[in-house]
Amino acid sequence: MRVAASCPAAPGPNGLKSTARAGTAAEALDSGVRLLSELGANDEDLDDAGIDTSATAAMAAADEEDEVSKMVAPSAAAAVPKPIRGHLIGRQGTWQLHIDAAALRFVRQPPAASKESAKDDNESFVCSFDDTVGVGFISDGGCRSRYLCAFRYVRRPVAAPGRPSGPRQRSLVLFRIVQPADPPGVALVGRLCSQAVARSMGREPGPPGKRPLLVLLNPRSGQGRADKLFRETAEPLLEEAGLAHRLVRTESAGHATRLLRDSPAEELLSYSGLVIVSGDGLLYEALNGLAGRPDCLQLLRRLPFGVLPAGGGNAVAASLAHANGDCLDREFAVTAAFNLAKARPRPVDLALVEAASGASYLACLSVNYGLLAQVDLESERYRFLGGARFALAFGIRLAAPGGLRVYRARLSYLPAEVAEAKDAETADVSNDNGDDNNRKPLASLKRHLPASLSDPLPSNAGWVTEEADYLLVLASLHSHLATDNFYAPPCRPDDGRIYVTWVAAGVSKVDLLRMFLSVGDGGHFRAPAFRCAAARAFRLEPLDDGGPVCIDGETAPCEAMQNNGIGAWQSDSTETDNLAATSTTPTTLRRRWRGGAYEKP
C-alpha cells in the first residue's frame, strides 16, 4: 500500500547537519487505512479492497506498484484509458472520471436499468487543482483494486461577506478505480492525474524531488514550537505534494547567516528553494547571509524563498497572507504551507539600507527608531509568550513612571509620487534609446540618494525634510508588523514604496494607548498624531546619542542611515530548470529590476 511521500534526500554536502524524511511502506499502509477511515469507509470497504494490515503486505504492494510504474512508458500518455470508471468513497453509485487542465471531474453514471436519472446536487463533483497539492495511490497487496487519492485543502466559508477568505482545511477525495482493471492502465491514470496537477502549478511533470528544498528551522523561535509546527503542518503537506526537503535546525544566532554566506554556490544551487520556519529574524539572517556574497544577485535570482510562520511576530508571513486574501487566524500556518507547496510566487520589495559607519543591511520588513524599537528589544525577555510579548513590553514601557523618552532626529523622505513621475520620464528616455531591459546590480541602486550620508540631499528633487523631537520613527515595507498588528494598511508587498511613519513628541500616554489598541484593524491610521508618507527613499539622522534602532527586528547601531533602493525581488523561473521542487511559496520572495528602477509585475 502506498501514498504520496517525499523522496529521500542524499546526504548533506559539506557536512550540513540535516535530516531528510520519506514515508516507509508500513507508514504508507497505516496512512491509507487512516485515509479510508477519514472518508467514512467501513470494514466492508476495507475487506472489499483486500487490504492486508501487515507490514509485509504493504512492502509487497510497494514493490508491485514500482514494477507497475515501470510498465508505463511516458509516451503512453497518448493512450488515455477511456472511460475511467469507479466509486467515490462516501458517495453512492458509479462515477466516471474526466481529467482536464483545471480539475478532476467526476460524473455519476445512471443505473444500468435506466438511461435517464433525475438531476440532483450529487450528479457531478469537481476536484479543482486550485485546492489540490498532489495525487497518490492507495492499493492493496493483490492489486485487485486501486484507490486514487487527491490531497485537497479547501477554504472554509467565512461568516461575513467582504471578509478575507477562510483558512484552508484538509479534505481528501478517494476514488476506487474499477475500469481500467489492468495494472498498467491504473498506473497510467495515476500518471495522467499527477501530470495535470503539476502543469496546473506551472511546472513540467517529472521525477519528484530532483532538487530538494532547503528548510531552515529555528527550534527556539516563538514559544519553541517551530519544530512541532513543521512536523505536523508543513512536512505532511510537502510529502503529499511529492516535494523532497532537507531540514537544518539552526544552533545559534547568526547560524543561518554564516551558512548561506560561506557555503559554496554549487551547494546552495543544488536546492530548488529555501524555506524559513521561524519568525522574521531568521529570514533577515538568511537574506543578509546572501547579501554578503559576491554572487548575491545570481543566488537571489535562482533561489526562491518561502516563509512558514513559527515565530512571535511573523510580520512578513502575515503581510503576504493578507495580500493573498487569506485569513489571519490560528490556522493560517496551514494556508502558508499550502501556498508553499503550490508554488504561487509573488515579488516582494526589499530595501538596501546603508549606515554612516559603512555597514549595509538588506531589509525585508522595517527600519525602526525610538519607542517601538525599544519595545521590540525589551520584548525579547518575554519570548516564551509568543506574539503577546509585544503587548506586554509596550504596557510595561507605557506604565513606567515619568514621561516617555523623546528622540531628536532629522527625517527626510522622497514622496513616492515625485519619484514615480521622474521614473516615468526616465523610462520614456530609456525606451526611446531602445534600452528597456537593463539589469543593474544591487549596489548601484541609488537613484534618489547621494552616494554618501555626508553629502546633502538634492535641493530640487522634491525631498521633504523636518527636524523634530519624535517618540517613534518607523519605515515599513509591509502592511503588518505582526499577525495582529495591521501597521500600514495601504502597503502592498510589491508596490515599490516604503511607508515612513512617525509620531512626534507631545502625545499623551492615553492617546498612545488608544493607538496601540486600534492597531489590529488599522484604526491607528486615523489618529491625528500618527503620520505616514509613502516614499521611495528616506534618510534618518539621529541627533541624540544612544537611541534604540532595529532593522527587521534585529538591533543595529544608532547612527545616520538611508535606504539606497527599493525593488521587487523575483527569481527568474527560466533559471530554475523547471524542477518539481521549484514549487515553493506564494510568499516566495523574488527580485526584478529594469534599468535600475522598480518594475511593477
Alpha helices in 10-51 (DSSP H): 25-38, 43-49
C-alpha cell at 195: 501530470
Q: Does residue 573 carry a pLDDT above 50? A: no
Give span(s): CATH 3.40.50.10330, the chain: 213-347+575-598
39, 88 Cβ separation under 8 angstroms: no
What is the rounded CA–CA span in Å between residue 27 and residue 577? 32
**What 3-state class would DSSP assign to 589?**
strand
> What's 84's DSSP letter?
E
Q: Which residues contact 37 (CB under 8 A, 6 or more apart)?
A: none
pLDDT value at position 303? 86
What is the rounded CA–CA span in Å between residue 72 and residue 74? 7
> Regarding predicted confidence, which is higher, 592 or 183?
183
The secondary structure element, H or E, covering residue 96 is strand 95-99
Q: Where are the beta strands (DSSP E) in 486-583?
A: 498-504, 530-542, 549-551, 554-556, 561-569
Residue 232 has φ and ψ, to the nearest 5°, of -90, -20
C-alpha cell at 117: 436519472
Q: Which of 12-26, 215-229, 278-292 has the lowest mean pLDDT?
A: 12-26
Alpha helices in 449-590 (DSSP H): 509-517
What is the rounded CA–CA span in Å between residue 461 and residue 448? 8
What average pLDDT does this structure show over 141-164? Answer: 72
> Regarding predicted confidence, which is higher, 432 or 307?
307
Give span(s): CATH 2.60.200.40, the chain: 353-569
> Regarding predicted confidence, which is higher, 373 or 110?
373
Nearest to 348, CA basis, from 561, 596, 585, 556 = 585
Output b/e per residue, 17-43; b: 16+ Cβ within 10 A: ebebbebebbbbbbbbbebbeebebee
Which of 36-45, 249-258, 321-330, 570-579 is most confident? 249-258
pLDDT value at position 364? 92
Alpha helices in 370-473 (DSSP H): 371-378, 388-399, 416-432
Q: What is the pLDDT of residues 13-59, one digit of tens each?
A: 343 444 444 443 334 434 444 444 444 444 344 444 433 333 333 33
What average pLDDT does this structure show over 473-492? Answer: 94
Side-chain half-sphere CA neighbours of 510 within 13 A: 0
Q: Which residues contact 530 (CB under 8 A, 6 or more apart)?
A: 501, 503, 515, 524
Percent of the chain whose predicted confidence (pLDDT) is above 90: 38
Residue 54 CB-density burial (10 A; 0-12 exposed, 13-18 middle, 19+ buried): exposed
Nearest to 476, CA basis, from 391, 349, 366 = 366
Q: Which of 114-118, 303-307, 478-482, 536-540 has the lowest mean pLDDT?
A: 114-118
CATH number for region 213-347+575-598:
3.40.50.10330
pLDDT value at position 150? 93
423 is catalytic: no
What is the rounded CA–CA span in Å between residue 415 and residue 94? 64
What is the rounded CA–CA span in Å between residue 31 and residue 293? 44
According to DSSP, the residues that pair with 472 across neighbouring strands are 370, 503
pLDDT value at position 23? 43
Q: Does residue 231 carry a pLDDT above 60? A: yes
Q: Among residues 45, 280, 495, 552, which one is catalytic?
A: 280
pLDDT value at position 66? 44
Mean of the per-residue pLDDT values of the chain? 76
Q: Using 50, 70 and 90 to split pLDDT, how confident is the model at 346? A: confident
Q: Which of 185-199, 304-318, 581-595 has the lowest mean pLDDT?
A: 581-595
C-alpha cell at 550: 532595529
What average pLDDT does this structure show over 98-120? Answer: 75
What average pLDDT does this structure show over 244-252? Answer: 94
Percent of the chain whose predicted confidence (pLDDT) is above 70: 69
What is the rounded CA–CA span in Å between residue 334 and residue 91? 27
191, 77 Cβ separation under 8 angstroms: yes
Q: Does residue 601 carry a pLDDT above 70? A: no
pLDDT value at position 582? 26
> Regarding predicted confidence, which is higher, 65 or 509?
509
What is the rounded CA–CA span in Å between residue 193 and residue 176? 14
> Regarding predicted confidence, which is higher, 190 or 490?
490
pLDDT value at position 555? 92
Q: Does residue 68 carry a pLDDT above 60? A: no
**Torsion angle defined by CA atoms of residues 442, 448, 450 and 453, in that order, rounded to the nearest 10 degrees:** -80
What is the rounded CA–CA span in Å between residue 89 and residue 153? 18
Q: Which residues contact 213 (CB under 8 A, 6 or more apart)?
A: 238, 243, 244, 245, 246, 271, 272, 273, 274, 275, 306, 581, 584
- Overall pTM surpassing 0.85 (yes/no): no
Give the CATH number of domain 353-569; options: 2.60.200.40, 2.130.10.10, 3.40.50.720, 3.40.50.1580. 2.60.200.40
C-alpha cell at 393: 513590553
Q: Does residue 63 carry a pLDDT above 70? A: no
Q: What is the pLDDT of residues 432-467, one digit of tens each?
A: 444 433 333 344 344 566 667 888 888 777 899 999
pLDDT value at position 81? 58
pLDDT value at position 46? 40
Q: What is the pLDDT of residues 505-530, one digit of tens each?
A: 999 999 999 999 999 999 999 999 99
Q: Using 50, 70 and 90 to split pLDDT, how confident is the model at 243? A: confident
